[in-house]
Structure 1
C-alpha cells in the first residue's frame, strides 16, 4: 500500500507577482488551502527548506529569473513534492520530457479559463488524499507503473495480482473508491472481476476502469456492459490515464454531493426526516440482530414561537442553525441527528450505555442553556426539553412514540429537562 501525507500546504512558484497573488487568493478562498508564493527559484528553495512547510503539491512556472524550467521541476521532485506545470509555452518535446519526470499535469496559461482548470485540478488532487484505489494486474511492472501514477495524485494505493486476490481486498477495504483492472489475467479475468464486484458495489460508489491490449474492438463495450465506469486501450498515455481517472473521481464526488444534499435539511445541515427513517430502520434491524444498544431522543426548543414573535423568523432560523451546528459537534458521525420538524430534533444513538444516556443528554441540555446565541443585532439564550426512548423496540415508530411521550412529560413538568 502506498499513500501520501494529509498536508494542506501548497507551493506556488510564479515569476509574475500579480498573477501569482491572483492564483494564490483564488486557491485559498475556494479550496481552503494554504499557499506559499515564490517569485524566484531561490525563494522557492528557502520555502522548501523551512521545516515548518510540508508541501503536498507545487504549481510551477517554467520561466524564472534565476533558473531554467527543468531545474525547478527536478528540484521539487527531489524533495518529493509532485508538481503541476503552469506555463505559457509547451511543445511536444517539452511535454514528453516533463511526463517522463512524473509530473502531476500541465496547464497552459492561455486564457482566464486556464486558471479555472488549474483550480479544478488542485481541488481534485487535494480531495484524493486518503482515497483508496486498487490496481489489479498480473504484470508486476504494469502494477508498479499504475500504482506510481496514482500515488503521484495522492491516492492510497493497494495492489492485487489477479481477481481472486482483489475480492478479499475489497472485503477488507469496502471504502475503496477506484479500481483499475487489466482484463487478461489468470484465474479471473478483468471482465469477470467487474461483474462480480457489481454484485456488491454500485457504479456511483466505486469507479472501475478496465484495461486491455487486445485487438478485440468489442472489449470496451463488454467492460461497460458488465458494470465498468470506463475503459482504456493499451498502450495509453499518462495524460489520457489521468484525464479518465480525474473525470471518474469527479463524477463520484458530484453524485456524493447530490446524495448528501438530498439527505440534509437545507437550513440546519442536519439530516432530514426521510433519511432518518430510511437509515433508522436499517440501524434498528442491525441493532436487534447484533444485540447493540440503541436509543432515540426527541429534542424541542422551549418557547420557540416566542423567539419568532419577538425577534422575527430570521432570528428563529439563526437559532436553529446554531443549535444544529452545536449538536453536530457534540454527537458522533455514527449517530443520526435529524431535523424532525419545525424546532424539533430527533437523535438516534448507537452503542451508548443506558446508564450514561441521561448524563450525556442532560449535559447537552445544560450546555445549550448556558450558550449565548448570536441572532444578528442581539444575543439570546434558549432552553430545550428532551424525551428519550432508551432501548430498541420492535419498530422505529414505536421508539419515536415513546420518546415523544417522554418529551411531553418534560414539557408539562416545567420544560428545560430530560425525561426517559
Structure 2
C-alpha cells in the first residue's frame, strides 16, 4: 500500500485521525507530531505518496512543513484549525492538493477519502483539449496536482486521434471555442462511439451563459464548468463524475462475478470468452479452453459439511485465479470452472494445468484441525479457423466447450486427478 505522512501535534485530533485511517485501511500511515519528526520519516521513507499536515506545529508555527513537503514534490493536504481566505489562496497558489478545516470527524473522513482518491486517480487517464496553450496548461497542472495522468490536444481533430491511440483515457476535458472542430462538435462525434459510462466528457468555457451549458449537456457531455475555476468546485465536480462512472463499473462488474467465489461467472465467460476466441481466430492465434472439475467434491461435503465445501471451493477459485491471472477464469456450475487460454496450444495448456493442479494438491485446506486434500481433473480443447475445423461463429465456440467436456469425461473415467487434451488440434497453428 501507498505510504502517507500524517503530521499533527494535537493528541485528540491525532486519535481521531488514527481511528478514521484504521477504518479505511487503504494506505499505510506514517505519523509525526513535529516538523523534525516528519523530516526523519521522510529521510527513511523516500517513497512517501502524499502528506496530510497540520498548518501550525510546535517547531513550524507558520506552515513551514507545507513548504518542505511541496519542495520534495509530495502532494500535500493541509489541515488547519480555522478558515482564512487569504491564507487559503496563498496555499492553493503554492500547489497544495486541498485545504481542510478541522471542524469535526467528517473533516478527517473527507481528508482520508481525498488521499484514497489521489491513489485511485493514478489509473484515471485524462485528455485535456484546448487551443490556448496557457489555458490548457492551467487545467493540465490542476489535474496533475491530483495525480491524474494527463495527455493534451490542441483541437477536436487532434483529440480524436489521441483518444483512439490511448484507450486507457477515461475522461476528456474540452474547451468550447477551438479552430477546426469546437468542443461542442467534438462531444457530438465522441458520443457516437463512447457512452457516458465509458468516457466522461466535461465541457469548459469562459464564454456564453446557461444556454451553452445546456447545449453541452444535451450533446452528451457529463458536465460543464465555467471559467475561471474555483479550486474546490472544480475538483468536486471532477471527482463526482469520476466516482459516478466508477460506481457504474462496480455494479457492472458485480453482475459478472460469481457471488460465492468472487471470480467471473458463467454468463460473463461466454460473453467475454466468445469475443476473445473470435479475435484469436482472426489473428490465427491458438486458443485452449479447459473445463475443470474438482475430484471427489461430493465426499468433502458429506464428510466435513457444506461449510467446509464452501471453503474448499473458495480456496480452489483463488488459486486458479492467481495461477492463471493472464487468462479468463470463471466458476460455472457447482464444482466446475472454465478457463480460456488465448495463445496456448493444447500441449502447453495441459502442461500449465498439470502444474496448477500440483500447486493446489500440495496446499491442502485446513478445516477444524483436519486437512482436506484437493485435486481436479480437466479436459482441454483447441480450435483454429486456419485448420478448417471451425467457423468463426457462436456455434464454433460452443462446440469448443463440448469437446473440452468430452476430454474431461475421459479424465474422470480414467480415475480423475489428471488433465486430458483433445490431441493437440491447434498444434498445427504457428505461434
> What TM-score bracket applies, with the shorter chain setting the length?
over 0.9
Paired with 1:353 and 1:104, the residues of 2 have a C-alpha distance of: 51
- 8 Å contact 2:27–2:116 — kept in the other structure? no
TM-score under structure 1 normalisation? 0.94
How far residue 29 of structure 1 moved from its aligned partner, in angstroms, is 4.8
Paired with 1:202 and 1:245, the residues of 2 have a C-alpha distance of: 17
Alignment match, 1:8 = 2
What pairs up with 1:21-420 in 2 under 5 angstroms?
Answer: 21-50=15-44, 52-333=45-326, 335-392=327-384, 393-394=390-391, 395-420=396-421
- 8 Å contact 2:131–2:178 — kept in the other structure? yes
Q: CA RMSD in A?
A: 1.6
Unmatched tracts of structure 1, length 5 or more: 1-6
Q: How many residues align?
A: 412
How far residue 70 of structure 1 moved from its aligned partner, in angstroms, is 2.7
- Which shifted more, 262-271 or 277-286? 277-286
Paired with 2:104 and 2:253, the residues of 1 have a C-alpha distance of: 34
- 8 Å contact 1:357–1:390 — kept in the other structure? no
Unmatched tracts of structure 2, length 5 or more: 385-389, 422-431
Paired with 1:415 and 1:391, the residues of 2 have a C-alpha distance of: 24
Paired with 1:283 and 1:82, the residues of 2 have a C-alpha distance of: 40
How far residue 265 of structure 1 moved from its aligned partner, in angstroms, is 0.7
How far residue 28 of structure 1 moved from its aligned partner, in angstroms, is 5.0
- 8 Å contact 1:88–1:110 — kept in the other structure? yes
- 8 Å contact 2:53–2:78 — kept in the other structure? yes
Deviation per CA, 1:110-165: give whole Å up to 9, x if none: 12222222222111111112421111111111111111111111111111111111
TM-score under structure 2 normalisation? 0.92
Given the superposition, is the C-alpha separation of residues 252 and 31 from structure 1 closer, same or farther in structure 2, using an over 3 Å criterion? farther
- Which shifted more, 295-304 or 128-137? 128-137
Paired with 1:55 and 1:70, the residues of 2 have a C-alpha distance of: 19
How far residue 379 of structure 1 moved from its aligned partner, in angstroms, is 2.1
Deviation per CA, 1:60-111: give whole Å up to 9, x if none: 1112111124322111111111111122211222221221112111222212
How far residue 18 of structure 1 moved from its aligned partner, in angstroms, is 4.4
- Which shifted more, 175-184 or 97-106? 97-106
